[in-house]
Each structure stands twice: as structure tokens, then as C-alpha cells.
A and B are shown apart, each in its own frame.
Chain A
């Protein structure tokens, strides 16, 4: 019961934020985003750091996050926005986010990548 409530809250937040995850069609996402003039933010991932670690977004303004691994497989998991992607060496993962709620939302690596794995995290800060 408790879990259902939490899941409901997470789902509601994710829904409210109107997040669109389009990793498989990354190139298409990127092309469309470029056509629309949407901001593309590049994030580099390595053991055990996201760079940049904190990203500030404006409420209601869509962006595309472009993620690349510099070493081993990593994950990008942003549960509050219902977004996750594999970030594999040699490939580019892209996720589109339309933030519709202000706040600080933590993302983390969910593919075990070594001794500092549990410290590999960052945050999206959404402002008015």
C-alpha cells in the first residue's frame, strides 16, 4: 500500500513534468530538437563523475540531454522525471526533457561501474 502511494506520487510527478524519453530514436530526437532550436546540453560521464554535475533548466523550456561515456558503461537515471538511459562507450544517448515543475531532481548512475559507483550522481535544477 505504501509502495503504491509512492509509485503514484512518482508517476504523478513524471506525468506533470511531461517528460519525453526518446533514447532509441536519439538521432531523430536530436534532429527535431535542432530544427526547433531547442537547447542541447552535453553531459560527459566517467568513473565517478558527471560533467556538468548540476544542470539548471527553465520551467517549460524543453531541452535535449546528450550523454557520452568516457570509459565504461554507465546509466543515467532520473526517477522523479521518469527518465533513464544507458550511456555506453562509443555511443551517444539522448533524452528530451520538458520541465514543467520547479525543484531539484537528482539523477544517478544505475549501472554498477566500480568502487565509487554509489557516489556517481548529479542534479537537474528547474527554476521559474
Chain B
């Protein structure tokens, strides 16, 4: 508890705006967790869309340095996160399977420098869509899975290994069976790459069968989704479920529908790394549907 208070004090002193999102509608703070135990405070860090292997100086002249800087930033956090999660597009796509593996090797070596106990991965379409996740599995394991951590049930959904950007009936059946084992007031966090709802289908910011996953999750009172893909911070509700998109670590994209085309926002030398960053997510003990999100920029150092 003392560490938690110190961390909050640090955030306040550092001027890093924490944003509290309560996705629930006044659920009792004493609600049971997925294991039926007491809620526990901790935090994790979400990094996303690192696109290792991307080259494009007008968009990011430090494409080979940004991920390394983010790793250093995470290691400099005053309190170690319980884990780090990468929500897809670890590497930039390539038609060459050997080059894909080279990029995954380099990415894995860089993030091995993270000074945390646990790192979780999932693919984005750039990693997995061209070979249905074959290379990703070789390097990072299964693209969908679940795990428990301090009273939260984490579910990783793969909506990219199918090049049609679908979760698919097999995975949906797995999700349904998996959820059937949980209490309706279980504390559930979903990690995925693409939005599970139709954020902006005109830019392919959707998952074709994402609504089926949301429908399966809807009976559960305490569900929050964290995803990537759109290279910007974004927050939206589908009913009582909150969906939080993360910034990229390679280039930002325009707000949904705000530009004629979905094209990277050019690098601004006056404000380098603007729009890039990562976030921490603190699981609050007082409510099973409450998370404190803090956005961190990428520093020049």
C-alpha cells in the first residue's frame, strides 16, 4: 500500500495527469473478484504499435530509437509495474518471411531489456495476417490466451491472425466457454489489437465479428478493454464496457474521420515524438471497474 501511495504522489509531483475511468455504474467496491477474493492494487504498462522495421524519416526519423527510448522510460518508472503488455503490431509488415523473423528477433532482443517480471505479447495484423500468426507463434507463443493476476481475469483476443480481421468462430467458442467459468461480477480485462466495436469502418478501424465478443462480455459487470491499432489515445463505451486505445511508438494517426485519408501524421521537428507514448494502468482497489490511466510521452533523451 505504501508503494502505491508513493507512486500516486510521484505522478502528482511529476504532473503526469492520471485519468480515472469508472466503467461501472456504481457497483459495490466490495464486489467479488474473479476468484472471489479481495481487490488488490497494482499497475501494468501498455505499449502498442511499435512497428519495428518501419522506415520513413518524414514520419519518424528516429524509427530505430523510439522503442529503445520507451523501454528506458519504463525502466525508469519509480515503481516497477507488475507486467508490461504489448497490444500488437510489434513489427512492421513485410512480404518476406525471413525479414519478418529478423524483425521479430530484433524486437524481442530490445524488449528483453525491460526490467519487469512479466511481459505479455499479442499480434497485430502487421505481425500475423500474412502467415496466419506462424512467425508470431514461433517467437511469442499463442496469440490468444487468458491469465489471472491479483484478482483480475485477463483475456487476450486475437483479431488479426485471420487476414479478414475476424476473431473467428473457434476463438469465440473458446471465449464463451471460458467466460462460463467466471462469476458475473468477475473483474475482467480484455487485451486485443483492433477495436472490438465499429470505431470507424471507413478506415478499417473495426473487427468484423467484434460485436459477437462484446455480446459475450456484456453480461459481465466489470469488463474493460485495452487495445491498439489506431495509434492514438481513444476512449469509448459500449454499454457499460469501456474501451481504451493506446498511442503508438512509431507514428500517430489522425483522429477517426478527421482527415481525407488514414495517413501517418508527419514528424514535427519543433515537437519531436509528439503523439507517441505509452501508458500505465492502475487497478484500483476501491472498485472492480475502476482503472487509473496515466499517459507517458517518449522523451528525447
Interface members, chain A 11-27 (any B CB < 8 Å): none
Q: In the bound complex, what is the Cα–Cα distance between A29 and B163 (angstroms)? A: 27
10 intermolecular pairs with C-beta atoms under 8 Å apart: A3-B237, A10-B201, A75-B164, A77-B204, A108-B203, A111-B165, A112-B129, A112-B165, A114-B130, A118-B204
Give 7 A-B pairs besides A3-B199, A75-B164, A110-B165 with Cβ atoms closer than 8 angstroms.
A3-B236, A3-B237, A7-B198, A73-B163, A86-B164, A111-B165, A115-B95
The 9 A-B pairs of least Cβ separation, nearest first, read A112-B129, A79-B201, A112-B163, A112-B125, A111-B164, A111-B163, A79-B202, A114-B95, A3-B197
Query: Which residues on the B side are within 8 Å of A110 (C-beta)?
Result: 164-165, 204, 208
Q: In the bound complex, what is the Cα–Cα distance between A36 and B245 (angstroms)? A: 48
Q: In the bound complex, what is the Cα–Cα distance between A122 and B208 (angstroms)? A: 20
Interface members, chain B 209-266 (any A CB < 8 Å): 236-238, 262
A3-B238 contact, Cβ under 8 Å, with A111-B164, A114-B130: yes
Query: Which residues on the B side are within 8 Å of A75 (C-beta)?
Result: 164
B197, B202, B237 interface centre (most CB from chain A within 10 Å): B202
Query: Which residues on the B side are within 8 Å of A57 (C-beta)?
Result: none
Q: Is the CB of A6 within 8 A of B198?
A: yes
A77-B130 contact, Cβ under 8 Å, with A1-B237, A3-B236: no
Q: Is the CB of B130 within 8 A of A112?
A: yes
Q: From B260, which residue of chain A is reached at the shortest CB distance?
A: A106
Query: Which residues on the B side are within 8 Å of A3 (C-beta)?
Result: 197-199, 236-238
Query: Which residues on the A side are within 8 Å of B208 (C-beta)?
Result: 110
Q: Is the CB of A118 within 8 A of B262?
A: yes
Closest CB in chain B relative to A11 CB, distance in Å: 10
Closest CB in chain A relative to B235 CB, distance in Å: 10
Closest CB in chain B relative to A119 CB, distance in Å: 9
Q: In the bound complex, what is the Cα–Cα distance between A111 and B197 (angstroms)? A: 18
Q: Is the CB of B236 within 8 A of A80?
A: no
B interface list, Cβ under 8 A from A: 93-95, 125, 129-130, 160, 163-165, 197-204, 208, 236-238, 262
Query: Which residues on the A side are within 8 Å of B236 (C-beta)?
Result: 2-3
Tell yes or no: A113 within 8 A of B by CB. yes
Query: Which residues on the A side are within 8 Å of B204 (C-beta)?
Result: 77, 108, 110, 118
Q: In the bound complex, what is the Cα–Cα distance between A6 and B129 (angstroms)? A: 28
Query: Which residues on the A side are within 8 Å of B200 (C-beta)?
Result: 6
Query: Which residues on the B side are within 8 Å of A77 (C-beta)?
Result: 201, 204
Q: Is the CB of A10 within 8 A of B163?
A: no
Closest CB in chain A relative to B195 CB, distance in Å: 9
Q: From B198, which residue of chain A is reached at the shortest CB distance?
A: A7
Q: In the bound complex, what is the Cα–Cα distance between A114 and B237 (angstroms)? A: 32
Closest CB in chain B relative to A78 CB, distance in Å: 9
Query: Which residues on the B side are within 8 Å of A1 (C-beta)?
Result: 237
Closest CB in chain A relative to B280 CB, distance in Å: 25
Q: In the bound complex, what is the Cα–Cα distance between A109 and B161 (angstroms)? A: 16
Q: In the bound complex, what is the Cα–Cα distance between A79 and B203 (angstroms)? A: 9
Query: Which residues on the A side are within 8 Å of B160 (C-beta)?
Result: 112
Query: Which residues on the A side are within 8 Å of B93 (C-beta)?
Result: 112, 114-115, 117
Q: In the bound complex, what is the Cα–Cα distance between A31 and B92 (angstroms)? A: 44
Query: Which residues on the A side are within 8 Å of B237 (C-beta)?
Result: 1-3
Q: In the bound complex, what is the Cα–Cα distance between A1 and B238 (angstroms)? A: 7
Closest CB in chain A relative to B105 CB, distance in Å: 19
Closest CB in chain A relative to B95 CB, distance in Å: 5
Q: In the bound complex, what is the Cα–Cα distance between A2 and B238 (angstroms)? A: 9
Query: Which residues on the A side are within 8 Å of B130 (C-beta)?
Result: 112, 114
Q: From A112, which residue of chain B is reached at the shortest CB distance?
A: B129
Query: Which residues on the A side are within 8 Å of B95 (C-beta)?
Result: 114-115
Q: In the bound complex, what is the Cα–Cα distance between A10 and B94 (angstroms)? A: 33
